[in-house]
Amino acid sequence: MQTKDSFPLQGVIGVVANSVDEINAAATKGLQCVELRADLLLAGGLSLTQVLDTIQQAKSHGLASLFTLRHPTHGGKFTGSEDDRVSINQQALAAGADIIDLEWNTDSARQMLAINAPIILSYHDFNTMPTDAELADLTGNMQRDNPMAIKVVPTASSLADAAKMLQWVASAENNIKRIGFAMGQTGACSRILTIAHGAPITYASFGEAVAPGQVEIDQLLTNYRAMSLNSKSSVVAIAADSTQHEKLTAALNQQYHDAQKNQVAIAFLAEQTDDLNTYKEMLRITEITSQ
């Protein structure tokens, strides 16, 4: 079994949800790990045997694997019983999966925790953001189960929500890793910056996003250089009309790359300028420009 000091996932994790060909794409792009969304692969027509075979396919490319059989209440498509989920997750670990993801407070998670399985306990809210008190209670309850990592992904309705999740990631105090960001378009910046605030991974799709606000993988790797962001990285906020965002951020980030600057340009809507000033420190913004 993995220990908490040897967390197996790092950097941008590619979400394999549509085809096993995405494993090859992950290796080609230089990723260290993939999430095998078993529920989506099964729903797409693969047999359980074929899905379990993807674990060894990932390993053959030098990729660590996170095996996820997501329940519909958390955005997944697996409709079997909790006992079925336990059985399949056990088979996945036996086949070589490095770690599994199961939703906190589910029967399947409790059973896998009881056998000390390497696990990310996850919590998703596709509608709202918890209050500070709710987030603190949730964090304490999840950590008491002593998983390798906890993942909390609520939905942002404001820049304050994105900043809250980055602060939550950065405030980890023990050896239980925190994976967190906010869903929705407003929360996209937290997906880009979460590694820089201490999360071991951020998720990226190869094609159509599998969660609201998910950033396309080439954007994360090439434009935002997410794999190289760290605790010293600073942010240049582009507050402009959305039609200008892509060109402005691409041009600036290329400049930073060429100059070997530990900076990243991220686009925000012009009407968010006041919020950018309010949360400047939390988002590590050193400059706000509309260039």
DSSP symbol at 158: S
User: What is residue 108's three-state secondary structure?
Assistant: helix
Structure tokens at 192: 């880009």
Pair 225, 254: CB distance under 8 Å: no
SS3 content of the chain, % helix, strand, coil (to 5): 45, 20, 35
Question: CA 276 to CA 274: how far, in whole Å?
Answer: 5
Q: What are the sequence ranges of the domains in the chain? A: 4-229, 232-291
Domain 4-229 class in CATH: alpha beta
Residues with a known catalytic role: 124, 151
Burial class (CB in 10 A: 0-12, 13-18, 19+), 185: exposed
Tokens of 213: 């606000």
C-alpha to C-alpha distance for 123 and 111, rounded to whole angstroms: 17
pLDDT tens digits along 211-227: 777 888 999 999 999 99
**Three-state secondary structure call for residue 186:** helix
Going from the C-alpha of 89 to that of each of 98, 149, 150, 197, the distances in angstroms are: 11, 17, 18, 30
Per residue of the chain (291 residues), give pLDDT as tens.
Answer: 444 558 999 999 999 999 999 999 999 999 999 999 999 999 999 999 999 999 999 999 999 999 999 999 888 999 999 999 999 999 999 999 999 999 999 999 999 999 999 999 999 999 999 999 999 999 999 999 999 999 999 999 999 999 999 999 999 988 899 999 999 988 999 999 999 999 999 999 887 767 777 888 999 999 999 999 999 999 999 987 766 677 888 999 999 999 999 999 998 877 788 899 999 999 999 999 876
Q: Alpha-carbon dihedral of residues 212, 216, 221, 222, nearest 10 degrees?
A: -130
The values of phi and psi at residue 18, to 5°, are -115, -35
| pLDDT tens digits, one per residue of 148-190 | 999 999 999 999 999 999 999 999 988 899 999 999 988 999 9
- The reported pTM is 0.93
Helix, strand, or coil (residue 178) = strand
Euclidean distance between CA atoms 142 and 130, whole angstroms: 15
Q: What is the rounded CA–CA span in Å between residue 98 and residue 100?
A: 7
Place of tokens 């950590």: 143
